[in-house]
């Protein structure tokens, strides 16, 4: 399981202390921090969505400069090193179950290996026990065969025929031999790899069954009737049987020696004890024959007795040495002590006395019956060492088998206990650790998905699971608080977005209206320039016509003095004057119409200038409100402390932009005021031009009337010469005034053209300022 906190304690504390932050920045920061609460389990934590496009550049810039960054806990380097590969993709329950299975498998393999080893050792111990029992059976069978062989050999060499009692005793000895043979075969059949020896040993029984009736019949005959070949037959049969048994005993001894458990030395002692018995028998048989025959010992018999005695001493020393090497096993040590005391003490002294008597040919200290009662038990006493060695071997093999069986049982019990312990441990850990961790993991995943209504389990536990659940509960509560804060922040953000949309609409409407006004100003300035051009042309034409009128008036004044000389010339002059006056009237009438049109255009220009002034007032109002908002934002940023520094910078920039806007608006107002002043002057000049042109028109009308009167009353020329002179002077004076008015009109036209150009320039400047202001507002 991989836990990753998306919100540190410091960030949560900062998100919860919203009272110390501004209403805007605080909610934004709470939303930013709150939405990052959660724990990640191979799923990314929810990220704060960016502001909608409708928030505008100013909102996006505000968010960008507010330092709102995502808070996440970095994982330690060792975690990144461990959590790679398959262990990162495996669920914790599967990992735990696989780990438990691995431990169980390892424990099962170890226990199985130990159990298998002890089972094999137990099998070997059981095989060693069987081999020991088989060897013991073969050794007892050897004993019985030797006893049976000795009795038959003694009876064959005896001079007295066998009676019923002797035959009954020999039959009992034969039964003991058969029982020993059955026991030996039973032991051999329980071993492995002894099949050939079993068949050979099984063949001994039929051979003995065939030999015994013949031997019983032979010993019942008188000595002189006994066949020499029949007398030698028992030795051959028994020696062959003993050789077969010795071969089987050697094979069994080798198998025991391969086990290496100390049984081979005990079996060797048992075999050596039989060699003791054999040497003792070889020493006692010549003595028994001599005692039973009542004769002295011959030299070969004495040599046999001496050789058998040396063999007996040598084998006995080997037995004692082996017992010492085996640290004197209790049974064997007791048997050796008894044999040393009874046989090699009392029995040996008695045997030496018999040998001394037999060598000297004197009477034996024991009768044949006493000798039989003495010799047989004493020779059997030597087999105490064999029996003790076999008992030690059997006990050792049994103990080894029991030990291995116990070890096997312990190994199996340990495996069972290990399985039960691992099962209980796995169940306990699943119940106490894995299941709670998975439940808390599911809870945290639901928290990471935004489900803060989920209930956190295991909070009542007093261990680490309870601490973890309590921590998750704290995260859930803080996440719920942050979700509420995020909802409030989202609502405020939506309100701000709506307010930004309204502001954007006002800006667009303001831009449209200002564009329309500036377009109207530009449109009005263009025809004003054209009107000024036409007024200039009309003034120039009026000036030209006035000059012509002045010339004509001069001519008229000159003709007054010479009127008498040439009436015809006077009539022509009057006609010319009438024509010129009519033309002047027409031009004056057109100039009056142009002046009225110019006056209307200038009036429209004044109205446009007034509308521009209203727009400038609106801009001043917006700048004042912006300045007020910037001041409020600066105050709120100061209240927010370090967290509001970024917002304070933005508020300062907005305040500076508002000041620049106010200054630009003031300059535009000054320019528009100047334009209004120039426009008023142009209007007054145009009205003056109109009045002058009206007067000029009236004068021209009067001149025309006078010319008509002159034409109608040529007969009164003489009488009216003085009046004509006066009229001519008046015409000259009025003509000078017309010329002066034309020049004034031309000057006014130049001023009008200059005012129109200035109006166009100011309109362009105003458009640039407004566009710059709007771009600055949008960029903010």
What would the mean pLDDT of 386-414 be, rounded to a whole number? Answer: 83
Confidence at residue 557, expressed as pLDDT on a 0 to 100 scale: 61
Same domain, 411 and 511: no
Residue 760 lies in a domain: yes
Q: What is the CATH number of the domain that holds 774?
A: 1.10.287.950
The DSSP 8-state label assigned to residue 36 in this structure reads T
Amino acid 318: pLDDT: 92
Question: With 60 as the cut, is the pLDDT of residue 21 above it?
Answer: no
C-alpha–C-alpha distance, residues 80 and 87, integer Å: 12
Q: Whole-angstrom Cα distance, residue 245 to residue 241?
A: 6
Per-range mean pLDDT, top range of 361-370, 389-398, 673-682, 735-744: 361-370
| Interior angle at CA 508, CA 504 and CA 511, nearest 5 | 135
Q: How far apart, in whole angstroms, are the C-alpha atoms of residue 527 and residue 753?
A: 10
CB contact at 8 A, 602 and 679: yes
The pLDDT value recorded for residue 503 is 75
pLDDT value of residue 58: 37
Among 387, 402, 419, residue at a domain's last position: 419
| Angstrom distance (rounded) from CA 286 to CA 284 | 6
Alpha carbons 351 and 756: distance in angstroms, whole number: 173
Say if residue 12's pLDDT is above 50.
no
| Co-location of 515 and 394 in the same domain | no
Report pLDDT digits (tens) over 197-219. 899 999 999 999 988 888 888 88
pLDDT in tens, 119-147: 777 676 677 777 778 888 888 888 888 88
Same structural domain for residues 511 and 407?
no
Q: Mark whether 409 and 510 lie in a shared domain.
A: no
Looking at per-residue confidence, does 588 or 249 come out higher?
A: 249
Max alpha carbon distance in the chain (Å)?
241
Mean predicted confidence (pLDDT) in 740-747? 70
Residue of 610 and 467 predicted with greater confidence: 467
Q: Per-residue pLDDT tens for 297-344?
A: 999 999 999 999 999 999 999 999 998 998 889 999 999 999 998 889
437-476 tens-digit pLDDT: 888 888 888 888 888 788 888 888 888 888 888 898 888 8
For CA atoms 564, 565, 571, 576, give the dihedral sign. negative
Tell me which residue range forms the domain holding 691. 506-779
Contact 200, 142 (CB under 8 A): no
The residue out of 379, 404, 419 marking a domain boundary is 419
For the four alpha carbons of 382, 387, 388 and 393, in that order, the dihedral sign comes to positive
- Split at pLDDT 50, 70, 90, the class of 387 is confident
- Give yes or no for residue 490 having a pLDDT over 80: yes
Residue 185 forms part of a structural domain: yes
pLDDT bucket at 609, cuts 50 / 70 / 90: low
Q: How far apart are CA 418 and CA 326, in angstroms?
A: 39
Confidence (pLDDT) at 172:
92
Q: What is the mean pLDDT of residues 528-554?
A: 67
For residue 671, being part of any structural domain is answered with: yes
Give the DSSP letter of residue 191.
S
* pLDDT for res 499: 79
Q: Is pLDDT larger for residue 553 or for residue 233?
A: 233
If asked whether residues 116 and 263 sit together in one domain, one would say yes
Residue at which a domain ends, from 419, 444, 476? 419
Percentage of residues of the chain with pLDDT beyond 90: 7
Query: For residue 11, is pLDDT > 50?
Result: no
Q: What is the pLDDT of residue 436?
A: 87
* Residue scoring higher pLDDT (398 or 594): 398
pLDDT at position 76 is 46
More confident call, 421 vs 693: 421
Q: Among the residues of 430-450, which ranges form H helices?
A: 435-448
Rg of the chain, C-alpha, whole Å: 75
Phi, psi of 264 (to 5 degrees): -65, -35
Give the SS3 label for residue 549.
helix
Q: Which pLDDT score, from 0 to 100, does residue 20 have? A: 41
546 and 415 housed in the same domain: no
CB of 253 closer than 8 Å to CB of 135: yes
Q: What sign results for the dihedral spanned by CA atoms 682, 683, 684, 687?
A: positive
Task: Give domain status of residue 81, yes or no.
Answer: no
pLDDT for 3: 35
Give the Å distances, CA to CA, from 4 to 41, 75, 86, 433, 449: 7, 7, 19, 19, 14
In a domain, 289, yes or no: yes
Residues 592 and 733 in one domain: yes
Q: What is the pLDDT of residues 640-681, one digit of tens each?
A: 777 667 767 776 776 777 677 777 777 777 776 776 677 677
CA 692 from chain center: how many Å? 99
pLDDT at 747 over 80: no
Please indicate, yes or no, whether residues 634 and 755 belong to a single structural domain of this protein: yes
Q: How confident is the model at residue 710 (pLDDT cuts 50, 70, 90)?
A: low
Let me know if residue 62 belongs to a domain.
no
668 & 565 share domain: yes
- Residue 682 covered by a domain: yes
pLDDT for residue 48 is more than 70: no
pLDDT at residue 704, as a whole number: 62
Residues 18, 478: contact at Cβ < 8 Å?
no
pLDDT above 50: residue 434: yes
What burial letters (b/e) apply to 729-766, b meaning 16+ CB within 10 Å? eebbebbeebbebbeebbebbeebbebbebbbebbeeb
Q: How many domains does the chain have?
A: 2
Tokens of 515: 């564009």
556 pLDDT band (50/70/90 cuts)? low
Residue 18 maps to a domain: no
pLDDT for the residue 647: 63
Q: If you average pLDDT over every residue of the chain, what do you get? A: 74
Q: Quick check: 242 pLDDT over 90? A: no
pTM (predicted TM-score): 0.45
Query: What average pLDDT score do residues 620-638 get?
Result: 75
**9 — pLDDT class (breaks 50, 70, 90):** very low
pLDDT value of residue 181:
92
Report the range of poorest mean pLDDT among 97-101, 485-489, 612-616.
612-616
pLDDT of residue 337: 93
Q: Cα dist. 199→194, 196, 286, 772 in Å?
A: 9, 5, 35, 126
- pLDDT the model gives residue 221: 83
Can you name the residues that pair with 39 across neighbouring β-strands?
Answer: 5
535 and 412 housed in the same domain: no
Q: 524 and 375: one domain?
A: no
Q: How far is CA 706 from CA 542, 554, 558, 585, in A?
A: 20, 16, 17, 14
Q: Output 183 or 724, whichever has higher pLDDT.
A: 183
How far apart, in whole angstroms, are the C-alpha atoms of residue 272 and residue 75? 81
pLDDT at 6 (0 to 100)? 38
Contact 392, 283 (CB under 8 A): no
pLDDT digits (tens, 9 = 90+) for 268-302: 888 888 888 888 888 988 888 888 888 899 999 99
* Complete DSSP assignment for 287-351: HHHHHHHT-PPPHHHHHHHHHHHHHHHHHHHHHHHHHHHTT--HHHHHHHHHHHHIIIIIIHHHH
More confident residue, 552 or 179: 179
More confident residue, 346 or 72: 346
pLDDT tens per residue, range 81-94: 444 555 566 677 77
Instruction: Please indicate, yes or no, whether residues 166 and 279 belong to a single structural domain of this protein.
Output: yes
Question: Which pLDDT does position 631 carry in this prediction?
Answer: 77
């Amino acid at each position: 399981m991989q836990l990753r906190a998306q919100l540190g304690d410091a960030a949560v504390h900062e998100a919860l202390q919203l009272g110390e932050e501004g209403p805007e920045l605080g909610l934004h920061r709470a939303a930013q921090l709150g939405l990052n609460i959660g724990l990640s389990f191979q799923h990314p934590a929810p990220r704060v969505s960016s502001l909608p496009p409708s928030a505008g550049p100013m909102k996006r810039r505000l968010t960008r400069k507010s330092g709102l960054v995502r808070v996440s806990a970095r994982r330690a380097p060792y975690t990144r090193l461990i959590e790679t590969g398959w262990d990162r993709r495996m669920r914790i329950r599967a990992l735990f179950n696989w780990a438990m299975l691995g431990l169980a498998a390892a424990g099962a393999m170890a226990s199985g290996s130990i159990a298998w080893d002890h089972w094999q050792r137990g099998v070997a111990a059981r095989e060693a026990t069987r081999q020991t029992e088989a060897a013991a059976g073969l050794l007892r069978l050897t004993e019985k065969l030797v006893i049976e062989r000795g009795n038959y050999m003694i009876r064959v060499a005896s001079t007295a025929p066998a009676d019923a009692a002797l035959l009954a005793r020999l039959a009992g000895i034969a039964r003991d031999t058969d029982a020993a043979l059955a026991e030996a075969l039973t032991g051999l059949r329980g071993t492995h790899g002894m099949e050939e020896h079993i068949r050979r040993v099984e063949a001994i029984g039929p051979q003995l069954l065939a030999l015994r009736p013949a031997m019983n019949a032979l010993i019942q005959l008188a000595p002189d009737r006994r066949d020499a070949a029949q007398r030698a037959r028992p030795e051959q049969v028994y020696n062959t049987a003993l050789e077969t048994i010795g071969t089987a005993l050697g094979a069994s001894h080798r198998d025991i020696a391969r086990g290496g458990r100390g049984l081979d030395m005990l079996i060797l002692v048992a075999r050596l004890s039989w060699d003791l018995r054999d040497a003792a028998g070889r020493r006692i048989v010549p003595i028994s024959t001599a005692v039973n025959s009542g004769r002295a010992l011959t030299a070969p018999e004495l040599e046999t007795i001496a050789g058998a005695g040396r063999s007996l001493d040598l084998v006995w020393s080997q037995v004692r040495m082996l017992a010492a090497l085996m640290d004197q096993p209790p049974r064997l040590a007791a048997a050796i002590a008894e044999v040393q005391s009874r046989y090699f003490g009392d029995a040996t002294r008695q045997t030496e006395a018999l040998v001394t008597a037999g060598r000297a040919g004197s009477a034996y200290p024991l009768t044949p019956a006493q000798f039989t009662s003495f010799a047989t038990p004493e020779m059997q006493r030597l087999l105490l060492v064999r029996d003790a060695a076999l008992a030690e071997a059997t006990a050792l093999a049994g103990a080894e088998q029991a030990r291995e069986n116990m070890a096997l049982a312990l190994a199996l019990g340990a495996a069972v206990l290990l399985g039960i312990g691992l099962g209980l441990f796995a169940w306990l850990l699943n119940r106490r650790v894995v299941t709670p961790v998975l439940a808390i993991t599911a809870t945290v995943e639901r928290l990471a998905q935004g489900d803060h209504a989920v209930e956190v389990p295991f909070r009542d536990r007093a261990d680490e699971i309870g601490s973890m659940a309590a921590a998750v509960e704290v995260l859930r509560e803080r996440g719920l608080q942050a979700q509420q804060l995020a909802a409030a922040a989202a609502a405020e953000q939506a309100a701000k977005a709506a307010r930004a949309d309204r502001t954007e609409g006002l800006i667009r409407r303001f831009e449209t209206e200002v564009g329309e006004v500036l377009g109207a100003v530009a449109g009005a300035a263009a025809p004003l320039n054209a009107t000024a051009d036409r007024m200039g042309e009309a003034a120039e034409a009026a000036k030209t016509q006035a000059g012509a009128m002045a010339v004509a008036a001069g001519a008229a004044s000159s003709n007054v003095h010479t009127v008498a000389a040439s009436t015809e010339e006077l009539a022509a002059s009057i006609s010319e004057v009438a024509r010129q006056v009519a033309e002047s009237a027409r031009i004056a009438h057109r100039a009056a119409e142009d002046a009225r049109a110019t006056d209307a255009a200038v009036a429209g220009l004044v109205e446009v200038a007034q509308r521009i002034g209203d727009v400038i007032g609106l801009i001043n109002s917006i700048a004042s409100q912006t300045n007020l908002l910037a001041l409020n934002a600066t105050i709120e940023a100061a209240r927010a402390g370090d967290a509001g520094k970024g917002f304070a910078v933005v508020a300062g920039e907005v305040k500076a932009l508002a000041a620049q806007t106010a200054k630009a608006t003031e300059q535009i107002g000054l320019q528009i005021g100047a334009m209004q002043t120039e426009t008023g002057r142009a209007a007054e000049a145009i009205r003056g031009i109109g009045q002058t042109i009206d007067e000029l028109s009236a004068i021209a009308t009067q001149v025309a009337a006078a010319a008509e009167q002159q034409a109608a009353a040529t007969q009164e020329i003489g009488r009216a010469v003085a009046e004509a002179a006066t009229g001519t002077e008046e015409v000259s004076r009025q003509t000078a005034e017309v010329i002066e008015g034309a020049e004034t009109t031309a000057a006014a036209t130049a001023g009008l053209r200059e005012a129109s150009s200035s109006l166009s320039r100011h309109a362009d400047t105003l458009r640039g300022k407004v566009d710059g202001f709007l771009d600055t507002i949008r960029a903010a």
